[in-house]
Structure 1
Amino acid sequence: MIYYTLPAVVLGFILDLIVGDPHWLYHPVRMIGKLIDGFEYLLRAIFPKSKRGERAAGGLLVILVAGISTAVPAVILYLLYHKVNVWAGFILEAFWCYQLLATKALKVESMRVHKALTEGTLPEARTAVSMIVGRDTAKLDVEGVTKAAVETVAENTADGIIAPLVFLMLGGAAAGFFYKSINTMDSMVGYKNEKYRYFGTAAAKTDDVVNFLPSRIAAWLMIAASFLIALNGKQAGKIYRRDRLNHSSPNSAQTESVMAGALGVQLAGNASYFGRTVEKPSIGDPLRPVVPRDIVRANQLMYVTASLALILCGVLRWILLLL
């Protein structure tokens, strides 16, 4: 199986660029989501409703969901590769690799925001950006909508593309599903609100751990990519060194700081979530206003960064196979 992982990931990467994430195609993350919902209901019923009880339940949730999400595809692929037909295993693994990456989907969704800003109305743009961000969007102006879209492209370059790509290269589709299960749990229960303050602690901390190195790899590659497409690579490196930790998460500002520097704009700052304003530090310098065209530039930077990551990870895996 280990010899087919590299071509499966490459094929999956290419398929993602071509096909993207059509809404009619059932995505495996939905199954992970249902698994999380089911175990959350069960574990909350079993464990006491106390700080210690909820943290224990949340820890067990991580173990159960990550274990099942990894073991099931691993067993299926093993049986296909070794008991059925090598090509059957390769085709399924390549298909799963394609589904676990989100390069084109990220571009498509963010460019809907760009189209609404340039050809439609502000309410349409607010609706479009609400599909890809967790903050309140009803009162955002044009600059606020644009910043939200650019920030989403920056952050998801790390956890929607580079991080799963790293795990896919390390251990094939099964490792990719492991990462995706952690990332999905964080997005579903990793909130610091009353409901998930303790229950979601383990999911949030685990997500921080698994994204620690990939987010930094993504940032370094994004700096290199900014030079390649004639953005401000020098400023990208400067802002990265200064603002990469300007976020409550140790990982979220890594690529966002590079994006802000490369574009020469200021991102982040205070935002509204569920009707409550959350104070957040700004990232980057306001050398110029954020404009809708920056969404296009952000996507160009994202695509080149993803391509560099594929080349780097592919070469490293190929070298390890030769050793």
Structure 2
Amino acid sequence: MHRGVSTAAGLLIGFAIDRAAGDPRRGHPVAGFGMLAASLESVTYADHRRAGVVHELVLVGSVIGLGAVLRRGGAIPVAAATWTVLGGRSLARTGRMMADRLEAGDLTAARELLPSLCGRDPEALDTDGLARAALESIAENTSDAAVAPLLWGAVAGVPGLLGYRAVNTLDAMIGYRNQRYRHFGWAAARVDDMANLLPARMTGLLTALVAPLVGGRPGTVLRTWRRDAHRHPSPNAGVVEAAAAGALGVRLGGRTEYRHGVEQRPELGRGPAPAVGDLRRAVRLSELVQYAAVISAAVLAPLSAVLWDRMRGRSARG
């Protein structure tokens, strides 16, 4: 089987397994990587950027090297890696659970659930605040947990799948601007920004494509993206959150309370603030984008393989 075709097949199979089974409840490889990274940090940590660069290179480089070994097995390792790195079904399930708890008026249970979606202070949020926090997290994580790994898998196979998840996990662990990680986590944050530049914009385009299925308009998505995304402090989260706001006809951003303090985020979109019903629509939008992403990745994988083969051929002739 041609390498591009086997990659496409592996991506489709791995996506199907994720949709059917979700993340394993115990022994998740990503959790194991996180434990390894935390242990290594006790050795590599120093309050300067060079130490963070070494930390990033060792961990991400090791994972990409492992992926390069595993890629020789055809579709099976691609499927296994895809299932390992995807988090789309778990994201949608958590979003629905949040909507259920908010509709039932159980704010205590909703607040307990919020940390599994984002790092905001749940005790400071009411029903609408919890709905907005969950919706924004679902929009951003649709790209991080589904579109980005699928795109990197299509372009680079198993090394792309595993390498992207390593980059994204390290950013979630140390890519902060607090006192401990301002310098050490700089490389993790910058590499994650670069790794998500194209996936975030692909997510925005796919959001525009499927917007009519959640009551939105593609033109509104693109206008909101163009008008508002650049105002967000993140070059990537701004794109996907603005696109989601345009598709759902809601206004995101505003006062955002974290445990470390309060941030005033720019407003994205021109509709009303999101309510619980909008959160359910956001979950549906996320799932539609995920399906569109895996189809796009399956089409892109053979084309990418042909391009890599041509580049290698030119290099050999040179």
* TM-score, structure 2 as length reference: 0.90
- Aligned-partner SS, 2:122: coil
Aligned to 1:68: 62
Q: Residue 40 of structure 1: CA displacement?
A: 1.4
| Maintained 8 Å contact 1:245/1:251 | no
* Counterpart check, 1:56 vs 2:56: no
Distance 1:268 1:4, change over 3 A: same
2:301 maps to 1:298: no
Q: CA deviation at 1:322?
A: 6.2
Q: Assess if the C-alpha contact under 8 Å between 1:116 and 1:128 holds in 2.
A: no
**Once superposed, what is the RMSD of the aligned Cα atoms?**
1.7
Q: Which runs of 4+ in 1 moved over 6 A?
A: none
Identity of aligned residues (%): 32
The match for 1:85 is none
Q: Name the structure 2 match of 1:31.
A: 32
- Residue 313 of structure 1 pairs with residue 297 of structure 2: yes
Q: Quote how far apart the aligned CAs of 1:289 are.
A: 3.8
Residue pair 1:110, 1:129 contacting (<8 A) in 2 also: no
* TM-score (normalised: structure 1): 0.89
Corresponding residue for residue 187 of structure 1: 172
- 1:200-215 superposed matches below 5 A: 200-215=185-200
SS of 1:313's equivalent? helix
Q: Distance in 1 between matches of 2:68 and 2:119?
A: 32
Corresponding residue number in structure 2 for 1:136: 121
Give the whole-Å Cα distance in 1 for the aligned partners of 2:114 and 2:305.
Answer: 43
Unmatched segments (≥5 aa) in structure 2: 308-318
| Counterpart position of 1:84 | none
> For 1:269, what is the secondary structure of its paired residue?
strand
| Corresponding residue number in structure 2 for 1:148 | 133
1:121-158 Cα distance to aligned partner (Å, 9 max, x none): 11211111222111111120111000011101100111
* In 2: Cα distance, 1:279 partner to 1:293 partner: 25
Whole-angstrom CA distance in 2 between matches of 1:196 and 1:260:
31
CA deviation vs aligned residue, 1:259-282 (integer Å, no higher than 9, x gap): 111111111222122241122212
CA contact (8 A) 2:214 2:248 kept: no
Question: Does the CA-based 8 Å contact 2:8-2:299 persist in structure 1?
Answer: no
| Aligned-partner residue type, residue 125 of structure 1 | A
Shift of 1:320: 4.5
Q: Relative to structure 1, is the Cα distance of residues 209 and 275 closer, same or farther in structure 2, using a 3 angstrom cutoff? A: closer
Q: How does 1:124-273 map to 2 (within 5 A)?
A: 124-273=109-258
Amino acid of the residue matched to residue 303 of structure 1?
E
Separation (CA, whole Å) in 2 of partners of 1:321 and 1:271: 43
1:86 corresponding residue in structure 2: none
- 3-state SS in 1 of match to 2:231: coil
CA deviations on 1:179-230 (whole Å, 9 max, x unpaired) are 0111011110000000101111111011111111110111111111102443
| Counterpart Cα distance in 1 of 2:71 and 2:300 | 23
Greater shift after overlay, 154-163 or 34-43? 34-43
8 A contact 1:208–1:251 mirrored in 2: yes
Structure 1 position 77, deviation (Å): 4.3
Deviation at 1:91, TM superposition (A): 2.9
Aligned to 2:310: none
- For 2:235 and 2:248, locate their aligned partners in 1 and report how far apart those are by CA, in whole Å: 22
Q: Structure 2: which amino acid aligns with 1:13?
A: F
CA distance in 1, matches of 2:90, 2:193: 23
Whole-angstrom CA distance in 1 between matches of 2:303 and 2:170: 33
Secondary structure at 2:265's aligned position in 1? coil
2:87 is matched with which residue?
Answer: 102
- Counterpart position of 2:262: 277
Gaps of 5+ in 1: 82-88
Higher relative contact order (CA closer than 8 Å, sequence separation 6+): 2
Distance in 2 (alpha carbons) for counterparts of 1:179 and 1:320: 17
* 2:4–2:301 CA contact under 8 A, matched in 1: no
Structure 2 letter corresponding to 1:40: E
